[in-house]
Chains A and B, each alone.
Chain A
Amino acid sequence: MKYFYYPGCSLEGTAREYSLATTALLAALGGSIEELPDWNCCGATAAEAVSRLLCLALPARNLALAEKAAPGQDILVPCSACYLNMRRAWDKVCHDPATRRQINQTLEEEGLSVSGSTKVRHLLDVLCLDFGADSVFKKLKRSLAGLVVAPYYGCQCLRPYPVFDDPEAPSCMEPLIRATGAKVHPWSMGAVCCGASHGTTKKEVGLALVGEILDDARGADVIVTVCPMCQMNLEAHQKKISKQRGRDLSISILYLPQLLGMALGLPEKDLGLNLNLGIAPGFMEKLRSPLIKQQENKADAA
């Protein structure tokens, strides 16, 4: 399976480990990715707050680049914010001819145009539907039995476009987690918003939302995420929130492909595990359970 890879700006900066782990995991699973040439930022939530057309034109340029480079090849997007923006632009291009015309006017000078022929796929969508838990299980090199994992979906990969999971009660990460031998933490905060950019612009509100999520995660060893903003919000303020709430809420936060990559026995450096901000004491030792010997693996599968 071949995809255009759209890392987005966060994955080139503060979320480098997400990009490393995504690339390493897909290679291990036999997927092939090629970075979308000359891509631009999709505008995040900023363009949406300032101008409707800008918030469509920025992501549409990326769609146009993909259509030109290899018609029909899906774009794989790991950041939920980028995903939503691209998906929305794709939706308008396909269903709103007047808006498509305007968008194409903004692309004209660069000799680009967009028709909607390229599909936008979130990493989680691709992992669940194109690869699936089986493909993880078959390549398992390390059992993560003993770990309790809380799957955090956030919102923008689920809503408003319900493409690959139930937007109110998502569960698509669970088979992937179970395939590694780990247990799924039963909780209700997996699809509740973490506050998005509140983390930087309206800090108190963001902290309260994240506090609720961390509180509900108690009992799990790790929360896994599929979005650089979710990740940053959950990992960056744990000390402060613990102080505010008068209990220790520190917990490790990994990107889903980092966890799956460990289960596939990929080198920690390739998964960027040295770059995470939130790793609780003792967690890495748990994660580094010994690799499964070849025969045991076969016996298990039989």
Chain B
Amino acid sequence: MIPKERPFIEPDKFHDLEGVQKMLASCIQCGTCSGSCPNAFAMDVTPRTLWRMVLTGQKEAIFQTRTFILCSSCYSCTLRCPRGLPLTEAMSALKQIASREGLAPYKASTRFYKSFLDSVRRHGKVREGEMMTLYFLSMKNPLLPLQFAPLGLRLMLKGKVGAPFPTRGKRPLESLFNKVMQLENNP
């Protein structure tokens, strides 16, 4: 059974868009971040433009872009920003808002992350087979696994993924997960 989804709420200053604005306050719009980003070619809005949207508070527009969800946390922009701004962390903060609010355009990514964490919560470690099963179940799209079938099959032939069925057992991380949720919901 899939555990019921519960929202995570951030306790600290990166909690909302205002927090992200504070992180970016001294941005000079130089564009170094966009020029450094390996994923910029696939983004509809460049990182620099996204930061301007954040600073001008265009919440709705921000959460329609693909930009932050395409960030692969490579830290190139963070390393190169002349103002030393924590840009990768800002991208993560936007992902966290999108995930917490369950925003529709990011469902696929959010669900993937949650299946992953469900697997961790159950076993302390990730069972790759189980994670994918949980993911497809939560997407409620039985056709989706087909896209992954060729790679999955090759991994299985090498004996690299186990039976893709959720199993039950002791939950070593239950107290940690509970406490995190408690702290994030009642800062």
Contacts and interface: CB of A to CB of B under 8 A. Distances in A.
B172 to A, nearest CB: 7
Give the size category of A's interface with B.
35 or more
B75 A159 contact: yes
B124 to A, nearest CB: 4
B43 to A, nearest CB: 9
B8 A16 contact: no
B180 A106 contact: yes
A53 B183 CA distance: 9
Interface stretch (B27-35, B47-55, B56-64, B112-120): B112-120
Interface string A86-126: 00000000000001001001111110000000000000000
Kindly name the residue among B10, B69, B96, B179 whose own CB sees the greatest number of chain A CB atoms within 10 A.
Answer: B179
A200 interface: yes
A48 B92 contact: yes
A29 interface: no
A53 B178 CA distance: 12
Contacts of A52: 10, 12, 14, 92-93, 96
Given A198-B72, A205-B39, A50 B112 contact: no
B109 interface: yes
Contact of B161 (A14, A204, A209): A14
A48 B72 CA distance: 11
B170 to A, nearest CB: 12
Interface residues of B, number: 58
Interface in B112-148: 112-114, 116-117, 120, 124-128, 147-148
B41 A49 contact: no
Given A168-B79, A195-B72, A47 B117 contact: yes
Given A48-B92, A57-B176, A208-B41, A43 B120 contact: yes
A40 B179 contact: no
For the residues of A in contact with B, the DSSP-based class is helix
Given A13-B160, A58-B176, A159-B76, A51 B96 contact: yes
Contact of B184 (A47, A51, A196, A202): A51
B75 to A, nearest CB: 3
Interface string A1-14: 00000000110111
A10 B6 CA distance: 27
A49 B96 contact: yes
A246 interface: no
B42 A205 contact: yes
A279 to B, nearest CB: 12
Contacts of B124: 38-41
B176 A277 contact: no
A50 B176 contact: no
B94 to A, nearest CB: 10
Interface of A: 9-10, 12-14, 16, 38-41, 43-54, 57-58, 61, 84, 99, 102, 105-110, 155-156, 159-160, 167-168, 192-193, 195-198, 200-205, 208-209, 236-237, 275, 277
Interface of B: 8, 10-12, 14, 38-39, 41-42, 69-70, 72-76, 78-79, 88, 92-93, 95-96, 99-100, 108-110, 112-114, 116-117, 120, 124-128, 147-148, 151, 154-155, 158-162, 172-173, 175-177, 179-180, 183-184
Closest 6 CB pairs of A and B: A159-B75, A193-B74, A196-B72, A109-B175, A46-B116, A46-B113
